[in-house]
Amino acid sequence: MKSDFGERVKRAAASIPAGFKPETAVILGSGLSGIVEGLGYREIPFGEIAEFPKPTVQGHKGVLCLSGKNAIMAGRFHYYEGHPMDDVVLPIFALKALGVKNLILTNAAGAVNESYAPGDLVLIRDHLNLMGTNAFIGPNPADSDGKPFGPRFFDMSSVYDQGLRAVAASKAKRPLKEGVYAALTGPAYETPAEIRMVRAIGGDLVGMSTVPEATAARYLGMRVLGISCVTNMAAGISSAPLDHAEVVEVGKRVESELKALVMDLLSALA
């Protein structure tokens, strides 16, 4: 990370209206932002938060919603949009500065595992970082007093908290599968050969997000839950070409189920 990262985190956190002390934060993926509609949370557009870049992708709302012990980010910053990794993970540091202890990451993903189907919700058990980089390359980030936010070398042996997965499984209206999420940079979808590679090395799902944020959250000592919404079978599994409109459309279809699960999780963790 760049040496000004700690100052940027401080500015971001300071620009969020005072009086909110969230303990659990949710990040909503592509096409899943509708979850915040009608919740009555205080909505802060990303543009009003210092140091947050403007989101560019369609289907991402770009607001931080706050209420009581909960924070919900509708929209996130993707590496494929051209944001530096510092910007991709900055919101996680800002949420940590507000007091967040639990992070629920959601995403739209392609299914590599052929036992999954579009519309499935899958709990992430572990991940493969195939983005070719790591947000923590560079100086270990430190706060404005020079104190590092976390250790230089940090454990990644249990990123996705087993206890949170158990709570999610108990709240879900239908059995949830579990799998390994492989993150590639995008924005091109994968080739069939890349999907065969992901399968061969143990991936069940593919996507273009989540891994940087989960890595940052573990660095900061948060408990992490990852939920993938399967929007399509990955490239080469069916003969149909991949299409962003389909990803958004399937996301919309499962949004109410995911909303119920997320709201039940927020109640359970409050």
Binding residues for ligand HPA, per CB under 6 A?
108-110, 186, 189-190, 206-208, 231-232, 234, 242, 247
Instruction: Tell me the closest approach of the beta carbon of residue 215 to ligand HPA, in angstroms.
Output: 18
Task: Give min distance, CB of 37 to ligand HPA, in A.
Answer: 22
Closest CB to ligand HPA among 108 and 131? 108
Query: Of 227 and 234, which CB lies nearer to ligand HPA in the complex structure?
Result: 234
CA distances from 189 to 80, 96, 234 (A): 11, 32, 9
Least spacing, CB of residue 28 vs ligand HPA, in Å: 14
Active site residues: 30, 60, 78, 80-81, 108, 208-209, 232, 244
Unique residue bearing structure tokens 């519309």? 119
Nearer to ligand HPA, 39 or 197 (CB): 197
- From the CB of 20, what's the least distance to ligand HPA, in Å? 31
Name the minimum Å distance from CB 186 to ligand HPA: 6
Smaller CB separation from ligand HPA, 156 or 188:
188
| CA of residue 183 relative to chain centroid, distance | 11
- Rounded Cα–Cα distance for residues 59 and 183 (Å): 19
DSSP string, 111-122: E-STT--TT-EE
Nearer to ligand HPA, 142 or 242 (CB): 242
By Cβ distance, which residue is nearest to ligand HPA? 110
Instruction: Tell me the H-state helices in the chain.
Output: 5-14, 85-98, 162-171, 192-200, 211-219, 244-269
Length of the chain: 270
Single out the residue of 161, 169, 269, 163 nearest to residue 223, CA to CA. Answer: 161
CB closer to ligand HPA out of 97 and 242: 242
CA–CA distances in Å: residue 193 to residues 173, 196, 199, 202, 235 = 35, 5, 10, 14, 9
3-state helix, strand, coil in the chain (%, to 5): 35, 25, 45
Q: How far is the CB of 113 from ligand HPA (least distance, A)?
A: 12
Bridge-partner residues for 109, per DSSP?
230
How many angstroms separate the Cα of 141 from the Cα of each of 49, 72, 145, 151, 188? 20, 25, 11, 9, 31
